[in-house]
């Protein structure tokens, strides 16, 4: 698969098989992802790989915080305080498509909650990745992190793996830092589920539309 095919194939996978991922594959895809550009080659990325008991410990702790009504306290604001169109419209369409694929009605609050809590269980993936950045770095390094994270997802496809980047896994960063032993100096950007996709699950069979380039590109001569 070439890079253009990988870009077209990438999707947020929300159902994984229990098949384990070889550590060698993870090491290789991270080495490939590290070819991402960064200002003055600063390479701001820091990655924690969680599997087995550690990953389960994180899942249990995040779910417990959520169920106990602990207010989330992410290291930064991912979403806007007030949504406006066209972003609001796209957000609504995204939610409808997801719940439709899961067969969850608007009135079924119980299953909606279960679907949301599945985020904290990495959608059943055997590997959880966490991406951190030094809090002393500035916005340019966050752009570099975005390119690195995208590289991780594309490199995963090259190894036959699937991913789902998850802002939800960064809602309680102190919990994650404490379990992983990560210093306060590092901000948690997001988590990511990594594993082998379960193609039999309907939630993996829908795709969201993208705006064609003519809708977001302006040409100047």
Query: Which residue spans within 135-215 are E strands per DSSP?
Result: 162-166, 186-195
Number of domains composing the chain? 1
At residue 103, what are phi and psi to the nearest 5 degrees? 70, 35
More confident call, 112 vs 40: 40
* 53 within some domain: yes
* 220 within some domain: no
* Residue 112's CATH number: 3.40.109.10
Contact 152, 129 (CB under 8 A): yes
* 218 within some domain: no
More confident call, 101 vs 148: 148
Give yes or no for residue 10 having a pLDDT over 90: yes
Give yes or no for residue 106 having a pLDDT over 90: no
Mean pLDDT of 201-205: 93
* 215 within some domain: no
pLDDT value for 33: 98
Residue percentage of the chain with pLDDT more than 70: 100
pLDDT value for 109: 87
**What does the block give as tokens for 202?**
């309907």
More confident call, 101 vs 169: 169
* 77 within some domain: yes
* Residue 15 domain boundaries: 3-209
Indicate the helix (H) or strand (E) that contains 26: helix 23-33
* 214 within some domain: no
Q: What is the pTM of this model?
A: 0.95
Q: At what angle do helices 52-67 and 173-180 cross, to 10 degrees?
A: 150
* 221 within some domain: no
Query: 55-83 pLDDT, tens per residue?
Result: 999 999 999 999 999 999 999 999 999 99
Give yes or no for residue 113 having a pLDDT over 90: no
* 61 within some domain: yes
**What does the block give as tokens for 55?**
């990953």
């Amino acid at each position: 698969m070439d890079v253009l095919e990988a870009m077209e194939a990438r999707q947020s996978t929300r159902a994984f098989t229990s098949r384990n991922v070889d550590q060698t594959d993870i090491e290789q895809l991270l080495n490939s992802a590290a070819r991402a550009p960064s200002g003055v080659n600063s390479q701001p990325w820091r990655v924690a790989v969680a599997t087995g008991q550690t990953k389960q410990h994180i899942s249990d702790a995040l779910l417990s915080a959520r169920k106990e009504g602990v207010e989330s306290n992410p290291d930064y604001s991912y979403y806007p305080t007030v949504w406006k169109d066209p972003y609001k419209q796209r957000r609504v369409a995204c939610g409808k498509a997801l719940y439709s694929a899961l067969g969850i009605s608007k009135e079924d609050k119980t299953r909606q909650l279960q679907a949301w809590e599945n985020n904290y269980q990495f959608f059943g993936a055997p590997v959880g990745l966490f991406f951190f950045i030094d809090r002393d770095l500035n916005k340019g390094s966050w752009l570099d992190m975005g390119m690195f994270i995208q590289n991780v997802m594309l490199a995963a496809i090259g190894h036959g793996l699937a991913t789902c980047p998850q802002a939800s896994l960064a809602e309680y960063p102190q919990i994650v830092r404490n379990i992983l032993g990560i210093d306060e100096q590092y901000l948690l950007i997001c988590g990511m589920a990594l594993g082998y996709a379960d193609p039999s699950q309907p939630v993996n069979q829908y795709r969201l539309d993208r705006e064609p380039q003519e809708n977001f590109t302006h040409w100047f001569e």
